[in-house]
């Protein structure tokens, strides 16, 4: 059943609040798309690459952990593949938990030009501003994938 698109947030509280508001809006859209989808559809690939709704949520959990919590990721491709032991409820709970923890990191950042926490790599860490913009792009791209996958499953559209 089609749903009305809620549109982006309306914030006027400054740059950080605006960026975080848009990111939170997209995070909710992704989680909502995977919520309530029965097994095995939630983990079944809907495109030739094998991308699934649950895989998108698991991947975004790893990306949030990497950029905001500084956790290393050894195999990015594996982040798209939930194991048989991982439940949809568990993956969604992990995503919501990491979003809450990431938001604490964002809120504690007094200056968006400062480096965001992440595992050491060649070169300097990106600024928190860059990470927020990148995460809006990353989450938005995967929210679009989730829209298509969910529509293929049950016809649901919108956020």
pLDDT for residue 76: 96
Fold type of domain 15-154: 1.20.120
Q: Nearest CA to 58 among 86, 84, 85, 38?
A: 86
Q: Residue 158's pLDDT is what?
A: 73
SS3 content of the chain, % helix, strand, coil (to 5): 60, 5, 40
pLDDT, tens digit, 9 for 90 and up, residues 6-38: 667 676 689 999 999 999 999 999 999 999 999
pLDDT value at residue 1:
43
pLDDT grade for 3, boundaries at 50, 70 and 90: low
State residue 21's pLDDT score: 94
Q: How far apart are CA 31 and CA 58, in angstroms?
A: 10
The closest of 11, 30, 21 to 138, measured between CA atoms, is 30
Average pLDDT over residues 88-92: 98
Q: Where do runs of H (alpha helix) occur along 35-75?
A: 53-69
For 37-89, write each residue's pLDDT tens digit. 999 999 999 999 999 999 999 999 999 999 999 999 999 999 999 999 999 99
Mean pLDDT value of segment 95-117: 96
> Phi and psi dihedrals of 11, rounded to 5?
-125, 150
Residue 84: alpha-carbon gap to chain centroid: 21
Distance (Å, whole) CA 46 – CA 52: 6
Domain boundaries, the chain: 15-154
Residue 120, pLDDT above cutoff 80: no
């Amino acid at each position: 059943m089609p749903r009305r698109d809620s549109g982006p947030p309306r914030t006027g509280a400054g740059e950080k609040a605006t960026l975080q508001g848009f990111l939170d809006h997209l995070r909710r859209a992704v989680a909502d798309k995977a919520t309530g989808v029965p097994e095995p559809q939630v983990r079944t690939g809907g495109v030739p690459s094998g991308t699934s709704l649950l895989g998108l949520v698991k991947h975004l959990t790893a990306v949030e952990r990497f950029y905001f919590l500084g956790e290393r990721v050894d195999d990015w491709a594996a982040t798209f593949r939930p194991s048989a032991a991982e439940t949809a409820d568990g993956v969604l709970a992990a995503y919501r938990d990491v979003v809450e923890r990431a938001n604490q990191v964002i809120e504690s950042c007094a200056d968006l030009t400062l480096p965001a926490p992440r595992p050491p790599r060649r070169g300097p860490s990106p600024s928190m501003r860059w990470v927020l913009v990148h995460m809006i792009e990353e989450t938005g791209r995967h929210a679009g994938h989730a829209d298509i996958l969910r529509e293929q499953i049950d016809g649901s559209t919108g956020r």
